[in-house]
């Protein structure tokens, strides 16, 4: 079971970082309890997985690259559900004629996974930001670029 859950976490990162929205969507239950309030106070509540994925699709294609490195998974099996605590180091990069700009966020994910007909899926996700390096406005710039149709990938 830990290997199956580690696979979910790897597909989460791979889907997001490659802008493969079908892969990213595949890791979530239809409804997700999200708490990213340590990053953005309004990012808390129940979301449809489709809406959460659409939100990512309005940001990540504006980046030249991103890397969500998820490590140190601590998995607790509770039968039909599991909890996962994992460290995350998320690099967000824009490369353009002015050079390379990087914003890095480090923190901890606290996830709740449930068994579904298709295997384990994420039904709850909480991000606790521990520290950041760089200018977080890089993410606003990437989202603005996507809104204007300037995609760097995806």
Could you read off the pLDDT of 68-78 as tens digits, one per residue? 999 999 999 89
Query: Is the torsion defined by CA of 109, 10, 113, 73 positive or negative?
Result: negative
Domain ranges of the chain: 2-147
Q: What is the pLDDT of residue 118?
A: 87
- Kindly list the distances between the CA atom of residue 105 and the CA atoms of 21, 113, 134, 136, 152, in Å, as whole numbers in the listed order: 22, 23, 9, 9, 21
The CATH code that applies to domain 2-147 is: 3.10.450.50
CA angle 123, 22, 108 (to 5 degrees): 45
Say yes or no to pLDDT of 105 above 70.
yes
Token pair 């406005």 in the structure block, residue: 137
Question: Token pair of 139, please?
Answer: 């993410």
Q: Mind listing the pLDDT tens digit for each residue in 27-41?
A: 999 999 999 999 999
* Type and span of the H or E element at 9: helix 2-17
**Residue 58 · residue 143 · CB < 8 Å:** yes
Check residue 23 and give its pLDDT.
98
What tens digit of pLDDT does each residue of 91-100 get? 999 999 999 9
Please state, rounded to an integer, the average pLDDT across all residues of the chain.
96
User: Radius of gyration over alpha carbons of the chain, in Å?
Assistant: 15
Whole-angstrom distance, CA of residue 85 vs CA of residue 71: 9
């Amino acid at each position: 079971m830990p290997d199956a859950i580690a696979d979910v976490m790897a597909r989460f990162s791979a889907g997001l970082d490659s802008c493969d929205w079908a892969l990213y969507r595949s890791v979530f239950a239809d409804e997700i309890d999200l708490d990213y309030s340590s990053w953005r106070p309004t990012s808390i509540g129940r979301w449809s997985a489709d809406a959460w994925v659409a939100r990512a699709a309005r940001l990540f294609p504006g980046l030249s690259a991103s890397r969500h490195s998820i490590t140190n998974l601590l998995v607790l099996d509770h039968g039909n559900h599991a909890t996962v605590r994992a460290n995350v180091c998320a690099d967000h990069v824009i490369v353009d004629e002015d050079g390379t700009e990087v914003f890095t966020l480090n923190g901890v994910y606290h996830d709740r996974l449930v068994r579904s007909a298709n295997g384990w899926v994420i039904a709850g996700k909480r991000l606790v930001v521990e520290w950041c390096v760089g200018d977080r406005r890089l993410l606003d710039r990437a989202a603005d670029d996507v809104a204007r149709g300037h995609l760097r990938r995806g």
